[in-house]
Structure 1
Amino acid sequence: MTISPNIKTNNKPVPKWQEIVKNIINLPWTWRITIAYLIIMLFLPIAAMSLKASTVETSKFWEIATNELALATYNVTFITSLLAALINGVFGTLIAWVLVRYDFPLKRIIDATIDLPFALPTSVAGLTLATVYSDNGWIGSLLAPLGIKVSFTRLGVAVAMIFISLPFVVRTVQPVLQEMEKEIEEASWSLGASQWQTFWKVILPPLFPTILTGIALGFSRAVGEYGSTVIIASNTPFQDLIAPVLIFQYLEQYDYAAATVIGMVLLMISLVLLIAINFLQAWSRRYDNR
């Protein structure tokens, strides 16, 4: 079949964006709903903040993001959050191990209490921690004679971050421990391995990526915490002032540009750290599969 030379054919290439839209339309409805939900709830707010930050001149953006006060708040926020996540990585794994491997009185109540930071308003948590760890509180009164002050210090910020991020580690590690077979441990013991060798070489390797996931989730939660830390801390610049509180202070001063810049810096640093942790998790899985 030949085409008449008088008939014009349209051989223009289809734009790339039209192909993308067509592929999205042809996806199953579950995919379309998922993509739409992620765009509305996740990507659009991030894009809006990025666009707002782009309106700030580069020199001013850098000046706000790297001034002494901002650098001090980054130090308090990220270092304290990382320490809190690592502490929960150790003790959260230990708590999950006890809940899975041992039966004891009131186990169900203790197991349910682990989720309390999920349901408890953060302001209530901050008020409770500030009261308990004050110089006249139940725990603070015991630490005061030792010269240890918790409430209204950076240590109090760390305590609040540990409290609100603990469930993320426990609930991440617990299901994996429940699926691990005890026969593997018994086989290790029968071959002459000690309990420490069994834990280090048999139990920890498959559990390590899960622990990292819990640490990453706890770290992300601690970085964004505001309600509990603003109460238990004195919010003094260069001492225990965290970045979320600094953002709120900028908003109170109607300095929306500075608040957006600090928020954008937090977003970028958190994203880089989470990507690094994900790469570490992938590496540990490949290493365990060898």
Structure 2
Amino acid sequence: MRIRLIALFSLMLSVPAGACTLWGAAGMAAGGGTLLAKNRDWRPDHVQSIRLIHPKRGASYVGLFADNGIAPGLKAGVNEYGLSVVSASASSLARQYWDSPDVHGAMLLILREDHSIDDVVVKATQRFSHSSPMFLLISDHQKLLEVEVGKDGRYTLQKQKEGVLAHTNHYLSDELAACNQKIGKSSRVRLERIRTMLAGGPYSLSDFAAYSQDQQAGPDLSLWRSGKVHTLSSWQIATPVAGPAQLSVRMANPEQAIVQKQWLLDDSFWQGPARVLLPESSE
């Protein structure tokens, strides 16, 4: 038994767990406003929840949280101003650089303190020059922002008012390409696949939800994965130029039935009590 446990632990350490896919559309490509999506890939060693949070200070927000496992915490979110942020690990770097406790600290600050992408850009130096390496894709009512954070406080920003953006787990910008120590096959294949799917447009929330379930490249290389690493959730949000955002989540907690649910994030939603939205209570 001890030998089997050691072998299993060694296998878990050898599998690069942080392997998410991020994509978005803005302007005419989104039918006006923006669309943002994330497929969250990780070891199936924990459960997740969707929660509405009313912090003592700052904006209310909805977050996708890993509730236990080896890397708990916030993984995606949207605040009451329609600013949404999703993250992916910079696993093309050695793990010592990207798998650190403060990797998502910037996400929480963005959700609690910022109203728009313009706010994020103004505060970029104070946020990202002290952050662990990571990738963020951010949307508001009118545009997208891609953030690549490398080593030694270096970062890049790319704004998009029209068209699409996509990211997986390696650096794409010329400025930070040297940070790529080893680009995994999965990261390359997933990026090529989502870019292919985003070659047309305009897109809708239902289109993004359908793309999130794509299994064209098999269990280990597809957007929705079921091999060594599992896709545990997908997050898609549509934010119009004016009016409330609509959030759609597909959650695949281990040993639980897959659930899909949507919420209209209007005033009555934000005025409701802090609560767990998924998994729903049986009481």
Structure number having the greater helix percentage: 1
Q: TM-score range by the shorter chain?
A: under 0.3
Structure number having the greater strand percentage: 2
Larger radius of gyration, structure 1 or 2? 1
TM-score using structure 1 length: 0.25
TM-score using structure 2 length: 0.25
